[in-house]
Amino acid sequence: MTEVKPGAPLPDSLWAATATAGPLTPPLRDDASFDVAIVGAGFTGLSTALHLAERGVRVGVLDAAEPGWGASGRNGGQVIPGLKYDPDELVRRFGASTAEPLIDVIGRAADTVFDLIAKYRIECAAVRRGWIQPAPSQAMLETVTRRAKQWETRGVNVTLLDAAEVSRRLGTHAYVGGWIDQRAGSLHPLNYTRGLARAAQSLGVRVHRQTPVVALSREHNRWRLSTAQGATVTAERVVIATNGYTGALWPGLRQSVIAANSFLVATQPLAPAIGGDILAGGEVASDSRRLLLYFRRDAAGRLVMGGRGPFAEPAGATDWAHLERAVELMYPQLKGVRYDYRWAGRVAITADFLPHVHEPAPGLTIALGYNGRGIALATTMGRHLAARIAGDTRMPSPFPVTAVKPIPMHGLQRFYITAGVAWYRLLDALA
């Protein structure tokens, strides 16, 4: 696989190859005016657009490529609530008055996704049978046990799993225990993204593919968005929702996140004789390593395995060899199995591992940085951005508004990722 340029087709991934046709979203050819213009047709942008349209707001969405072209269409399809930090840690960091509303919202983030799927009848192979977080060592098992109990005290339906139960559910003896969170599930992410686009269009939102926004300026209390093909958009409000594919549209924004690659492979559909006991209950899983592995079965019975990979865009099949080795170590019976698809997508990682919301100028809102939990978190973010933009005081956002802060020496991000991977790999080995 070579680097995919904006406007080019989606890479040869499982989701692109097995997705339904995208919605009709022609490029913008003529000047247009909206109440709110949104840059980026991924989870954040489309969720914001859909929830604004439900409130009667005139919205236009502009994407440099097409809905779901970025990480929204290239992820592993796991719908998991929460953040990197456990609830008690959030309380320690921010105090109960700030943290508890945030914990409540992120804890219900998966509900937002599955509620939208049901409401708009989005066909995306949605399954909600829980998320298993297995632990590869006793020390990590203690960590995930504490995590599970913190959510349990807040009313979440969780179950601790011993080694035998984890082995039965996952079909591997690689872990010593874990827990299952029943709030979570899975879906076909590109079909979900395209379903959000269709739902938004049904409410009057104009979605335009192959419409890169190249300049943003403020004129006469309105925003002016200049596009690569020459058409101009004016709007009272603008939302930038480009996440791991953020460019230079706003000063310092691209430098405020690390756009790390997440790599995935998908096996051929597994026959019951070799795959019948692998996640047979339909759960998804991601383990508790710092350099975690995440895996699930898709609707066709493939095993999808994901994890971190090289910072550079993949150039050949060897760039996914570490994931294929992981599959064979966890499931020896799959040695020699055919891999139908290999692909990668950019994850926006923030310095504090929290999502960021910025309002650097009147009428401009920016949201990005989901740190690998984009399906549930970005969809929920869109709902709250829409309420904030619409001035709905009945639904206060729990996400703090902060200044855009570029990461020091951002140009060395390739070094950051390489060094961080090596350090985390060492810590995982010592755990």
Cα–Cα nearest to 226, from 241, 216, 218? 216
Q: How confident is the model at residue 425 (pLDDT cuts 50, 70, 90)?
A: very low
Q: How confident is the model at residue 66 (pLDDT cuts 50, 70, 90)?
A: very high
Give DSSP secondary structure letters for 227-265. Answer: ETTS-EEEEEEEEE--GGG--SSSTTTGGGSEEEEEEEE
- Is residue 132 within 8 A of residue 179, CB to CB? The reply is yes
Q: Classify residue 159 by burial, with Cβ atoms within 10 Å: 0-12, 13-18, 19+.
A: middle
Least confident of 188-197, 221-230, 289-298: 289-298
Give the residue-averaged pLDDT of 35-61.
Answer: 98
Q: How confident is the model at residue 431 (pLDDT cuts 50, 70, 90)?
A: very low
Q: What is the pLDDT of residues 334-348, one digit of tens each?
A: 999 999 999 988 899
Give the residue-averaged pLDDT of 304-310.
Answer: 85
Cα–Cα nearest to 132, from 160, 152, 109? 160
- Is residue 395 within 8 A of residue 269, CB to CB? The reply is no
Cα–Cα nearest to 74, from 162, 187, 189, 185? 189
State the pLDDT at residue 25: 93
- Is residue 390 within 8 A of residue 48, CB to CB? The reply is no
Q: Looking at this protein, which amino acid is placed at residue 348?
A: A
Q: What domains lie within the chain, and their CATH numbers?
A: 1-125+185-256+351-431 (3.50.50.60), 131-182 (no CATH)
Give the residue-averaged pLDDT of 101-105.
Answer: 97
Cα–Cα nearest to 255, from 418, 369, 364? 369
Does residue 250 carry a pLDDT above 90? yes
| pTM for the predicted model, two decimal places | 0.92
Give the residue-averaged pLDDT of 30-52.
Answer: 98
Q: Of all helices (H) and strands (E), which one includes residue 185?
A: strand 185-186
State the pLDDT at residue 11: 58
Q: What is the pLDDT of residues 106-144, one digit of tens each?
A: 999 999 999 999 999 999 999 999 999 999 999 999 999
Tokens of 253: 């924004």
Give the residue-averaged pLDDT of 173-188.
Answer: 96
Q: What percentage of the chain has pLDDT greater than the value 90?
A: 79
Residues recorded for the chain: 431
Q: What percentage of the chain has pLDDT greater than the value 70?
A: 90
Does residue 154 carry a pLDDT above 70? yes
* DSSP code, position 36: E
* DSSP code, position 398: -
Q: Classify residue 421 by burial, with Cβ atoms within 10 Å: 0-12, 13-18, 19+.
A: middle
Q: How confident is the model at residue 246 (pLDDT cuts 50, 70, 90)?
A: very high
Least confident of 12-21, 76-85, 255-264, 394-403: 12-21
Q: Which residues contact 139 (CB under 8 A, 6 or more apart)?
A: 431
Tokens of 84: 């990197």
Least confident of 162-171, 213-222, 240-249, 313-322: 313-322
Taking the C-alpha atoms of residue 415 and residue 342, their distance in angstroms, rounded to an integer, is 24
